Protein backbone atom coordinates (compact mmCIF):
# COMPACT_ATOMS: atom_id res chain seq x y z
CA UNK A 1 0.00 0.00 0.00
CA UNK A 2 0.99 3.64 -0.40
CA UNK A 3 0.70 6.61 1.91
CA UNK A 4 0.76 10.06 0.33
CA UNK A 5 2.11 12.43 2.94
CA UNK A 6 4.88 14.79 3.98
CA UNK A 7 7.46 14.36 6.70
CA UNK A 8 7.20 16.56 9.79
CA UNK A 9 3.49 17.49 9.60
CA UNK A 10 1.17 16.55 12.48
CA UNK A 11 -1.57 14.60 10.66
CA UNK A 12 0.85 12.47 8.63
CA UNK A 13 2.69 11.81 11.92
CA UNK A 14 -0.50 10.27 13.38
CA UNK A 15 -0.63 7.67 10.62
CA UNK A 16 3.10 6.99 10.74
CA UNK A 17 2.86 6.32 14.50
CA UNK A 18 -0.16 4.04 14.00
CA UNK A 19 1.68 2.10 11.30
CA UNK A 20 4.74 1.70 13.55
CA UNK A 21 2.62 0.58 16.52
CA UNK A 22 1.08 -2.16 14.36
CA UNK A 23 4.37 -3.22 12.75
CA UNK A 24 3.05 -2.22 9.33
CA UNK A 25 5.54 0.47 8.27
CA UNK A 26 7.59 -1.85 6.06
CA UNK A 27 4.48 -2.61 3.97
CA UNK A 28 4.09 1.02 2.97
CA UNK A 29 5.59 3.03 0.17
CA UNK A 30 5.57 6.67 1.25
CA UNK A 31 4.93 9.12 -1.59
CA UNK A 32 5.93 12.68 -0.71
CA UNK A 33 3.37 15.40 -1.49
CA UNK A 34 4.68 18.94 -1.96
CA UNK A 35 2.24 20.62 0.42
CA UNK A 36 4.15 23.92 0.56
CA UNK A 37 3.99 23.98 -3.26
CA UNK A 38 0.23 23.31 -3.20
CA UNK A 39 0.38 19.84 -4.78
CA UNK A 40 -2.33 18.60 -2.37
CA UNK A 41 -4.78 21.00 -4.02
CA UNK A 42 -4.06 19.79 -7.56
CA UNK A 43 -6.73 18.00 -9.56
CA UNK A 44 -4.59 14.84 -9.62
CA UNK A 45 -4.28 14.71 -5.83
CA UNK A 46 -7.92 15.67 -5.22
CA UNK A 47 -8.89 12.66 -7.35
CA UNK A 48 -7.27 10.55 -4.61
CA UNK A 49 -8.34 12.64 -1.62
CA UNK A 50 -11.06 15.25 -2.28
CA UNK A 51 -10.34 16.76 1.16
CA UNK A 52 -7.10 18.13 -0.38
CA UNK A 53 -5.05 17.27 2.71
CA UNK A 54 -2.40 14.75 3.63
CA UNK A 55 -2.20 11.92 4.51
CA UNK A 56 -4.05 9.63 2.11
CA UNK A 57 -3.81 5.83 2.09
CA UNK A 58 -3.91 3.94 -1.21
CA UNK A 59 -4.62 0.22 -0.98
CA UNK A 60 -3.21 -2.26 -3.48
CA UNK A 61 -6.63 -2.51 -5.18
CA UNK A 62 -6.60 1.26 -5.80
CA UNK A 63 -9.00 2.22 -3.00
CA UNK A 64 -8.17 5.58 -1.42
CA UNK A 65 -8.82 6.27 2.23
CA UNK A 66 -8.53 9.81 3.57
CA UNK A 67 -8.86 11.09 7.14
CA UNK A 68 -6.45 9.87 9.82
CA UNK A 69 -9.19 8.24 11.87
CA UNK A 70 -10.39 6.16 8.93
CA UNK A 71 -6.81 5.25 7.97
CA UNK A 72 -6.09 4.20 11.55
CA UNK A 73 -9.28 2.10 11.61
CA UNK A 74 -8.03 0.31 8.51
CA UNK A 75 -4.51 -0.29 9.84
CA UNK A 76 -5.83 -1.46 13.20
CA UNK A 77 -8.22 -3.95 11.62
CA UNK A 78 -5.81 -5.15 8.92
CA UNK A 79 -2.85 -5.72 11.26
CA UNK A 80 -3.57 -7.83 14.34
CA UNK A 81 -0.11 -7.27 15.86
CA UNK A 82 0.66 -4.57 18.40
CA UNK A 83 -1.83 -2.86 20.68
CA UNK A 84 -5.43 -2.43 19.61
CA UNK A 85 -5.57 1.25 18.76
CA UNK A 86 -9.34 1.54 18.40
CA UNK A 87 -10.47 -0.96 21.06
CA UNK A 88 -12.03 -4.40 20.99
CA UNK A 89 -14.97 -4.31 23.43
CA UNK A 90 -18.01 -2.10 22.87
CA UNK A 91 -17.12 -0.02 25.92
CA UNK A 92 -13.46 0.41 25.01
CA UNK A 93 -14.29 1.33 21.41
CA UNK A 94 -16.75 3.99 22.55
CA UNK A 95 -14.40 5.41 25.17
CA UNK A 96 -11.47 5.56 22.73
CA UNK A 97 -13.65 7.15 20.05
CA UNK A 98 -14.90 9.76 22.53
CA UNK A 99 -11.43 10.70 23.79
CA UNK A 100 -10.02 10.69 20.27
CA UNK A 101 -12.71 13.14 19.16
CA UNK A 102 -11.96 15.39 22.14
CA UNK A 103 -8.23 15.31 21.41
CA UNK A 104 -8.84 15.95 17.71
CA UNK A 105 -11.47 18.70 17.90
CA UNK A 106 -10.30 20.33 21.11
CA UNK A 107 -6.54 20.14 20.70
CA UNK A 108 -5.11 19.14 17.31
CA UNK A 109 -7.68 20.89 15.14
CA UNK A 110 -7.93 23.87 17.51
CA UNK A 111 -4.15 24.38 17.27
CA UNK A 112 -4.46 23.93 13.49
CA UNK A 113 -7.13 26.61 13.28
CA UNK A 114 -4.95 28.98 15.32
CA UNK A 115 -1.97 28.20 13.06
CA UNK A 116 -3.87 28.64 9.79
CA UNK A 117 -5.90 31.70 10.84
CA UNK A 118 -3.93 33.68 13.41
CA UNK A 119 -0.34 33.15 12.19
CA UNK A 120 1.19 33.25 8.67
CA UNK A 121 0.46 29.50 8.60
CA UNK A 122 1.55 27.88 5.35
CA UNK A 123 2.22 31.26 3.75
CA UNK A 124 0.21 33.75 1.66
CA UNK A 125 -0.22 31.49 -1.38
CA UNK A 126 -2.05 28.82 0.66
CA UNK A 127 -3.62 30.86 3.49
CA UNK A 128 -6.06 32.82 1.37
CA UNK A 129 -9.05 32.93 3.74
CA UNK A 130 -7.87 33.83 7.22
CA UNK A 131 -9.89 34.97 10.24
CA UNK A 132 -7.53 35.88 13.10
CA UNK A 133 -10.31 36.28 15.68
CA UNK A 134 -11.50 32.72 15.06
CA UNK A 135 -7.91 31.47 15.19
CA UNK A 136 -7.20 33.14 18.52
CA UNK A 137 -10.45 31.80 19.98
CA UNK A 138 -9.33 28.28 19.00
CA UNK A 139 -6.01 28.82 20.76
CA UNK A 140 -8.00 29.29 23.99
CA UNK A 141 -9.94 26.10 23.20
CA UNK A 142 -6.65 24.22 22.73
CA UNK A 143 -5.34 25.38 26.10
CA UNK A 144 -8.63 24.51 27.82
CA UNK A 145 -8.43 21.05 26.28
CA UNK A 146 -4.85 20.63 27.54
CA UNK A 147 -6.14 21.34 31.07
CA UNK A 148 -9.00 18.86 30.59
CA UNK A 149 -6.60 16.15 29.36
CA UNK A 150 -4.36 16.83 32.37
CA UNK A 151 -7.36 16.13 34.64
CA UNK A 152 -8.13 12.91 32.76
CA UNK A 153 -4.51 11.80 33.15
CA UNK A 154 -4.66 12.37 36.91
CA UNK A 155 -6.94 9.33 37.04
CA UNK A 156 -5.83 7.29 34.02
CA UNK A 157 -2.52 6.01 32.61
CA UNK A 158 -3.67 6.88 29.08
CA UNK A 159 -6.42 9.09 27.70
CA UNK A 160 -9.01 6.32 27.30
CA UNK A 161 -8.04 4.28 30.37
CA UNK A 162 -5.28 1.82 31.16
CA UNK A 163 -4.15 1.15 27.58
CA UNK A 164 -2.46 3.23 24.88
CA UNK A 165 -4.84 4.02 21.98
CA UNK A 166 -5.38 6.24 18.95
CA UNK A 167 -6.60 8.95 21.33
CA UNK A 168 -3.06 9.17 22.72
CA UNK A 169 -1.62 9.38 19.19
CA UNK A 170 -3.96 12.25 18.31
CA UNK A 171 -3.24 14.19 21.50
CA UNK A 172 0.50 13.61 21.14
CA UNK A 173 0.38 15.03 17.60
CA UNK A 174 -1.68 17.93 18.95
CA UNK A 175 1.01 18.83 21.49
CA UNK A 176 3.74 18.59 18.82
CA UNK A 177 1.69 20.96 16.67
CA UNK A 178 1.24 23.28 19.68
CA UNK A 179 5.03 23.46 20.09
CA UNK A 180 5.45 24.19 16.38
CA UNK A 181 2.73 26.87 16.36
CA UNK A 182 4.04 28.35 19.65
CA UNK A 183 0.87 27.63 21.61
CA UNK A 184 2.12 27.46 25.18
CA UNK A 185 1.55 24.23 27.09
CA UNK A 186 1.16 25.45 30.70
CA UNK A 187 3.92 24.07 32.97
CA UNK A 188 1.30 23.49 35.68
CA UNK A 189 -0.11 20.56 33.64
CA UNK A 190 2.24 18.00 35.18
CA UNK A 191 0.10 14.93 34.42
CA UNK A 192 0.07 15.89 30.74
CA UNK A 193 3.86 16.43 30.76
CA UNK A 194 4.52 13.04 32.39
CA UNK A 195 2.17 11.29 29.95
CA UNK A 196 3.85 13.05 27.01
CA UNK A 197 7.28 11.84 28.14
CA UNK A 198 5.95 8.28 28.48
CA UNK A 199 4.35 8.32 25.02
CA UNK A 200 7.44 9.89 23.43
CA UNK A 201 9.51 6.96 24.68
CA UNK A 202 7.42 4.41 22.75
CA UNK A 203 9.42 2.78 19.94
CA UNK A 204 6.82 3.98 17.40
CA UNK A 205 7.79 7.56 18.23
CA UNK A 206 11.30 7.45 19.67
CA UNK A 207 12.68 5.33 16.80
Ligand X SMILES: N[C@@H](CCC(=O)N[C@@H](CS)C(=O)NCC(=O)O)C(=O)O
- x/- binding map, residues 99-128, to ligand X, per CB under 6 A? -----------------------x---x--
Residue placing its CB nearer to ligand X in the complex, 16 or 196: 16
Q: Select from 17, 19, 24, 53 the one that contacts ligand X (CB under 6 A).
A: 53
DSSP code string of 134-165: HHHHHHHHHHHHHHHHHHHHHH-SBTTBSS--
Residues between 134 and 193 that touch ligand X (CB under 6 A): none
Q: Select from 68, 166, 192, 199 the one that contacts ligand X (CB under 6 A).
A: 68
Residues between 23 and 52 that touch ligand X (CB under 6 A): 35, 40
DSSP code string of 25-65: GGG-EEEE--TTTTGGGSHHHHHH-TT--S-EEE-TTS-EE
Spatial neighbors of 90 by CB under 8 A, at least 6 apart, are none
Residue placing its CB nearer to ligand X in the complex, 105 or 184: 105
Q: Select from 11, 72, 86, 113 the one that contacts ligand X (CB under 6 A).
A: 11
Question: Least distance from C-beta 76 to ligand X, angstroms?
Answer: 15
Q: Select from 4, 10, 165, 166 the one that contacts ligand X (CB under 6 A).
A: 10
- φ/ψ (deg, to 5) at 45: -75, -40
Give the number of other CB atoms < 10 A from CB of residue 202.
17
Spatial neighbors of 183 by CB under 8 A, at least 6 apart, are 111, 114, 139, 142, 143, 177
Residue placing its CB nearer to ligand X in the complex, 135 or 150: 135
Residues binding ligand X (CB under 6 A) = 9-11, 35, 40, 53-54, 67-68, 122, 126
Amino acid sequence: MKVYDIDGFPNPARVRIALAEKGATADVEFIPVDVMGGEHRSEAYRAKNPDAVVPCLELDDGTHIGQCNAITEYIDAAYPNGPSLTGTTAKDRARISMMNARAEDGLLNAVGTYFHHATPGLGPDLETNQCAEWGNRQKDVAQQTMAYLDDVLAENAYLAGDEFSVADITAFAGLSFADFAKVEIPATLTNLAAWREKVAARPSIAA
